[in-house]
Structure 1
């Protein structure tokens, strides 16, 4: 099978990282995979082959005819069986290129979040509706993500749909030490965007400090709201209690060294960082948003009603004072059984074969 994976940018973001890892496993299973990035970037992704950079322009993404033409040339030259759009502008570029230049190809959209949360007006909904009417299949990262996209675009019921979660890679780990002594270490991993709710992270941490002064917060990630959060930390006199790390390509050693991972997000699809924490035997406390409840429950972590900071703090405090070792064991066993990328790649292959089989039957 020939597969073209299209990503937004050569960047260390969840969609690009997962597409790279998935592509490597698909190659291991004997398939020919190429990767195409719309925009350049300076990250080093794990894909074992060459990533072709289109050089599209984000300033003219609605009229980027030259980029659409180049996509057409790449598709006609490679002749892939499956073309997968991995978030960002990838679906937009693929559909507009196909409409303008008339190339043939099966387009699979990977739905990794909750699109309904981003539809701000009638134009956005109508335009995205146009895009999704022209896809051949949608792979959603969680049942919640699939329900959300069907609620907003019910015509997709007639499309090939599948729920395929994100997976993990086994990696070599180095030993990392965080704050020592009696200090308990709390970690949050995520880009500084509104979805990740860093203001909520600060609120929860301040409440926790009222219960236990021997705690330290570790924030991993970059993003547009980072400077705002740094300023708030200074204003509240918390600089000695909070460490900012910026982007880290492999946060697993830090997650392993922490006493608890927190994720009070506003929007999520299926966050890989929860699976990473479970794999590293670090307890997780998270809001019940998106598909989080599909992997986190009372048997393997702490699932809190969205916005309930009081209960969130209570759960973090409980985990720090008395870790539930059975809960931690259950979480790791689940990840090893269901969420490693070798298995996830087989699930994608089965979906691709199902799509191709349905297309052949339609001929």
Structure 2
């Protein structure tokens, strides 16, 4: 039995938080003693943490203010391995572990395209973390764990980290409750009683996710085929996207449906899932859609979609920002539905993202044992 501690800012509704809950739950299904330390507190994903996982909420008002509390908690837990997630949390974790003489126990994970993600966060403390992180990563005995090969390559190129100092591990997307959650009844009326084709997208309503591209492409699509679009997620661009839909006269055919606690039940019934992001790390929603056998279309953004879709062999990859190309790819996918064998091909292609396999990979990287 090993003692493994995972450090996050909180358990909000983001992809990194969701994946770390699934990783912690899967590791705890074995004999390991698993702890989650939250620098702040709470979040939508807190409710999904397995009872076998110990959760410690430090309750800091800002991540940096949690440093002393983090150090005390780590010393009390005496873990065999520590995993930190997201750049600004990684910087704080490195300082805390260094002060305890534990750098050999620490692994850090980068979840997004580093060179692009550091440009979009407005908080000055987080920006400072992006400056410090590459220098601190070079001090770590263990390699940085990147969420995809693209993120790993970007770290090497943009952060000046040696290729030998970076490795990859897949997200634990497909978990043991997968089938149960996906078979729950849909909560959206457009999917409960379909009147034509329904497209689904999911993510925070922020610039990174490119929903402005998707709304534009959908408006063009509706000039050729009447259908509907549901975008699950919340964020600061809700008002702007709603105004864009109204301007393009598609307000009645687009629903900004807000946060969805169980997107699997919705994606399973969709006719098409679309990823319109400007950049990613490894888009979990794309993997979820494919694991359900739902047809997908994606922008060839940095990074993740090309790797997941096998260079476009599994589903259409559209040049990032090409609204016309996205429209035509959606139209073609809706006009020529996938066969049962095509759906099975999608499902089989993402089996490496099963939680049991991902957890075994992470455990080997954290502890050096299988």
Cα distance change of structure 1 residues 230 and 263 upon mapping to structure 2, 3 Å threshold = same
Q: Show the 5 A alignment for 1:261-276.
A: 261-276=273-288
Contact 2:97–2:106 (Cα < 8 Å) also in 1: no
How far apart, CA to CA, are the structure 1 residues paired with 2:128 and 2:102? 27
8 A contact 2:197–2:271 mirrored in 1: yes
Distance in 2, Cα, partners of 1:349 & 1:222: 33
- Mapping for residues 158-237 of structure 1, pairs under 5 Å: 158-159=164-165, 161-169=167-175, 170-172=178-180, 173-176=183-186, 178=190, 180=193, 182-212=195-225, 214-237=226-249
Residue 178 of structure 1 deviates from its aligned partner by: 2.4
Task: Report if the CA contact (8 A) 2:293-2:343 is conserved.
Answer: yes
Residue 148 (structure 2) pairs with residue 142 (structure 1): yes
Write out per-residue CA displacement over residues 61-116 of structure 1, whole angstroms, 9 at most, x where no aligned residue.
55x3xx211111111111112111112532122123345x4442422111111111
Per the alignment, residue 269 of structure 2 pairs with: 257
Which residue does the alignment assign to 2:48? 46
Q: Relative to 1, partners in 2 of residues 1:97 and 1:29: Cα closer, same or farther, differing over 3 Å?
A: same
Q: Which residue of 1 aligns with 2:342?
A: 327
Counterparts of 1:330 and 1:126, CA distance in 2: 42
Map 1:293-312 to 2 at 5 A: 293-297=306-310, 298-312=312-326
Secondary structure at 1:350's aligned position in 2?
Answer: helix
| Alpha-carbon distance, 1:57 to partner | 2.3
- Equivalent residue of 1:150, what SS? helix
By how many angstroms is 1:140 displaced? Answer: 1.0
Aligned pairs for 1:8-47 (under 5 A) are 8-43=9-44, 44-47=46-49
Contact 2:172 2:359 (8 Å CA) reproduced: no
Contact residue 137 and residue 160 of structure 1 kept, 8 A: yes
| Mean Cα deviation higher: 145-154 or 229-238 | 229-238
User: Once superposed, what is the RMSD of the aligned Cα atoms?
Assistant: 2.3
Give TM-score scaled by structure 2 length. Answer: 0.87
Report the Cα distance in structure 2 between the residues aligned to 1:88 and 1:228, rounded to whole angstroms: 29
Q: Where does structure 2 lack aligned partners over 5 or more consecutive residues? A: none
Matched, 1:241 2:253: yes
CA drift at 1:182: 4.8
Tell me the TM-score normalised to structure 1 length. Answer: 0.89
C-alpha change, 1:182 and 1:70, in structure 2 (3 Å) is closer
Query: SS at the partner of 1:80?
Result: coil
Rounded to whole Å, the distance in 2 between the matches of 1:152 and 1:181 is 46
Aligned twin of 1:97: 96
- What displacement does 1:350 show? 1.8
Separation (CA, whole Å) in 1 of partners of 2:194 and 2:12 = 37
* Structure 1: runs of 5 or more not aligned: 358-363
* Counterpart position of 1:360: none
- Distance in 2 (CA, whole Å) between partners of 1:269 and 1:316 is 23
Q: Does the C-alpha gap of structure 1 residues 8 and 156 become closer, same or farther in structure 2, counting only changes over 3 Å?
A: farther
Q: Which of 68-77 and 158-167 deviates more?
A: 158-167
The CA distance in 1 between the partners of 2:90 and 2:130, in whole Å, is: 14
Q: How much does 1:45 deviate?
A: 3.6
Residues 107 and 137 of structure 1 are in contact (CA less than 8 Å); yes or no, is this contact kept in structure 2? Answer: no
